[in-house]
Structure 1
Amino acid sequence: MKLLLDENLSWRMVNKLGVVFPEVVHVTSLNISQPASDISIWDFAKKNGYTIVSKDDDFEKIVLLRKAPPKLLFLKTYNLNTEKLVNLIIANNIKIKEFINSDENDIFEIFGE
């Protein structure tokens, strides 16, 4: 399960999520121009087999227009801090893995307060 964290998420999430998702990277660690545009992130994820993790609804629009891959793990979590975001993702790890392995959906939404 390869996860690519968008710029709107903290790079500090990588180590904590790596326990459950060993192949997680943050967009700032990629060999693409920074700040990375949504399309360059999309292209990288598509070419390299990543699922994008983001709170940015622009990715939802891109998925609806271009279709998967890559898939989108869309965090609808308002202003949760990094620790709570990590805990929310880990708590949903089984559903996330099922989503990534399934051909049924392109977007998986996780809600949190």
Structure 2
Amino acid sequence: MKFLCDVHISIKLAKHLNNKGFECIHINNILDKWFTSDSNIAKYSDANNLTLITKDFDFKNSFLVNKTPKKLIKINLGNISNAQLTEFLDRCIFDIETIDNNHNQYMIEIDTHFLKVTI
């Protein structure tokens, strides 16, 4: 499974996912770095079959209206520490992999008590 972390997601999370054996790129290392537009992030994500991890509500709207990015993880956990986000994602990763293996297009919203999946 391959991920792309948006600008508001810590580079530490990208490194953590790489250390866990996943391919994970942070937007600050590609394209126009933190200046990259949301539409270019979505296009890059789709072109490279990456699951975009973001806190940005605009990507949810883009998925619902335009079906891009094709694979999206929307973090709805508020102001939590990087360690807490990493721990939470570790607990969800098996379910995320299962969804990714079974669907070419999806949005997973991660909340404190549930994963909401939109196909």
Query: Normalized against structure 1, the TM-score is what?
Result: 0.89
Q: Counterpart of 1:67? A: 67
The 1:21–1:88 alpha-carbon spacing in structure 2 relative to 1, beyond 3 Å, is: farther
Q: In the alignment, does 2:81 pair up with 1:111?
A: no
Aligned to 1:84: 84
Q: Higher mean Cα deviation, 13-22 or 90-99?
A: 13-22
Point out 4+ residue stretches in structure 1 off by more than 3 angstroms.
none
Name the structure 2 match of 1:94: 94
Aligned AA (1:3): F
The one-letter code sitting in structure 1 at the alignment partner of 2:23 is E
Aligned to 1:37: 37
Gaps of 5+ in 2: 114-119
In structure 1, runs of 5+ residues without a counterpart are: none
- 1:103, distance to aligned residue in structure 2 (A): 2.2
Give how far 1:92 is off: 0.5
Percent of aligned pairs sharing the same letter: 25
Q: What is the number of residues matched between the two proteins? A: 113
What root-mean-square deviation, in Å, do the aligned CA atoms of Structure 1 and Structure 2 show? Answer: 1.9
Q: More displaced, 20-29 or 42-51?
A: 20-29
Q: Give the TM-score of the pair, scaled to structure 2.
A: 0.85
